[in-house]
Amino acid sequence: MWDKGIAEYLDYLLIERGMAKNTIVSYERDLNQFAEILKEAGIVDPIKVSLDDLYLYLAVLWRKKMVSTTIARKIACIRGFYEYYRLEGKIKVNPTKKLDTIKRKQALPEVLNEFEVDKLLAAPEGDVLGLRDKAMLELLYATGMRISELLNLNIGDIELEAGYVRTKGKGDKERIVPLGEVANEAIKKYLSASRPRLLKRPTDAYFVNARGGRLSRQGFWKILKSYASKAGITKDVSPHSLRHSFATHLLQNGADLRTVQELLGHADIATTQIYTHLSQSRIRQVYNQTHPRSQRKNNEGN
């Protein structure tokens, strides 16, 4: 179906639009790449492509570290392809129309899989600094907080007994995020055995450096890089990686988009939707494995 649809569109560009052959060759290359990526995800009919499938395609381009201008060109090509389909009456709505809401064109930070997260969180030792670092890493992954939100936490912002964190995100908007048991225990150990030994002077800062002051963004970056290396993680891990991993893993395990939006503190759900491309392959895999009619039975008709 893909081959026929692309061929018809290219003929339309050549005959009716009078485009140059070099331009058509470029369009053909981009459309074939698009088709191959979606066929690998199980999309065999271009008419069936959804917005989530387009996010999946974007994810692959970002992972290939393509520049924004190249991605914009490829999207323009696909937008033209589906506009042709709409004009031909094959579809009612061009599925690329809502891609205009995507503001971010560069690659997302690396997302760690659950095994890599486990290795990273197990990397800190049980000394004074290790207990602090363990608490910070567990808290980031448990809540999906931005690194700036983590470092701006003050004593009183975390309610360990109730199991939640109160934080302020962009626009000084406050939100309350649940705190899991593992992170809760790590924070308790930090507060009892680590923070008192690090303090040199009174401060409200929740997480302090070796000199007793509030930990800086640069300081945390060095800490994270050190533990990623110790854990044998070769991905380019950044302070934002645990936030992206948090959101992706929630979606992969069945969380709805609105809940993830609230947890991340996104004002617009379109911002949260960017994570759906990272979970689509897993969702499709689970569907194919569990739905009784996802595939034709080998013994059908017997």
73's enclosing H/E stretch is: helix 68-87
Active-site option among 119, 166, 189, 240: 240
Structure confidence at residue 295 (pLDDT):
61
Helix (H, G, I), strand (E, B) or coil at 188: helix
Active-site option among 146, 195, 249, 277: 146
Provide mean pLDDT across the span 148-152: 92
- Whether 240 is a known active-site residue: answer yes
- Whether 275 is a known active-site residue: answer yes
Structure confidence at residue 108 (pLDDT):
56
Helix (H, G, I), strand (E, B) or coil at 178: strand
Q: How confident is the model at residue 298 (pLDDT cuts 50, 70, 90)?
A: very low
Question: For the chain, where are the E strands, in sequence order?
Answer: 158-159, 164-168, 174-178
Partners of residue 208 on adjacent β-strands: 214
- Whether 243 is a known active-site residue: answer yes
Query: What six digits make up the tokens of 192?
Result: 């009892």
Provide mean pLDDT across the span 83-106: 75
Structure confidence at residue 297 (pLDDT):
46
Provide mean pLDDT across the span 104-131: 84
Helix (H, G, I), strand (E, B) or coil at 223: helix
Token pair 């074939």 is found at 32
Contact yes or no for 166/176 (Cβ under 8 A): yes
- Whether 291 is a known active-site residue: answer no
Q: How confident is the model at residue 52 (pLDDT cuts 50, 70, 90)?
A: confident
Active-site option among 243, 244, 249, 277: 243
The mean of the pLDDT values for the chain is 85
Q: How confident is the model at residue 183 (pLDDT cuts 50, 70, 90)?
A: very high
Say which CATH topology domain 2-101 has: DNA polymerase; domain 1 (1.10.150)
Q: What residues does each domain of the chain span?
A: 2-101, 114-285
Structure confidence at residue 302 (pLDDT):
43
Active-site option among 9, 84, 206, 275: 275
Q: How confident is the model at residue 153 (pLDDT cuts 50, 70, 90)?
A: very high
Structure confidence at residue 25 (pLDDT):
92
| 264 vs 237: CA distance, rounded Å | 19
**Percent of the chain scored above 90 by pLDDT?**
45
The C-alpha angle with vertex 54 and arms to 51 and 55, in degrees rounded to 5, equals: 90
Sequence-ordered list of residues with C-beta below 8 angstroms from that of 38, at least 6 positions apart, any chain: 2, 49, 53, 56, 57
pTM above 0.75, yes or no: no
Q: How confident is the model at residue 97 (pLDDT cuts 50, 70, 90)?
A: confident
- Whether 146 is a known active-site residue: answer yes
Each residue's pLDDT tens digit, 162-182: 999 999 877 778 899 999 999
Structure confidence at residue 274 (pLDDT):
67
Q: How confident is the model at residue 55 (pLDDT cuts 50, 70, 90)?
A: confident
Decide if pLDDT at 104 tops 60. no
Query: What six digits make up the tokens of 231?
Result: 């854990």
In the chain, the amino acid numbered 34 is: F
Active-site option among 170, 200, 217, 258: 170
Tell me the CATH number for domain 114-285. 1.10.443.10
- Whether 277 is a known active-site residue: answer no
Beta strand 164-168 with 174-178: parallel, antiparallel or unpaired?
A: antiparallel
Each residue's pLDDT tens digit, 21-46: 888 999 999 999 999 999 888 888 99
Among 138, 136, 251, 246, residue whose Cα is nearest residue 194: 136
Least confident span in 102-106, 119-123, 132-136, 274-278: 102-106
Provide mean pLDDT across the span 43-50: 89
Structure confidence at residue 106 (pLDDT):
43
Each residue's pLDDT tens digit, 231-286: 999 988 888 889 889 988 888 888 888 888 888 887 777 667 667 655 555 555 55
Decide if pLDDT at 10 tops 50. yes
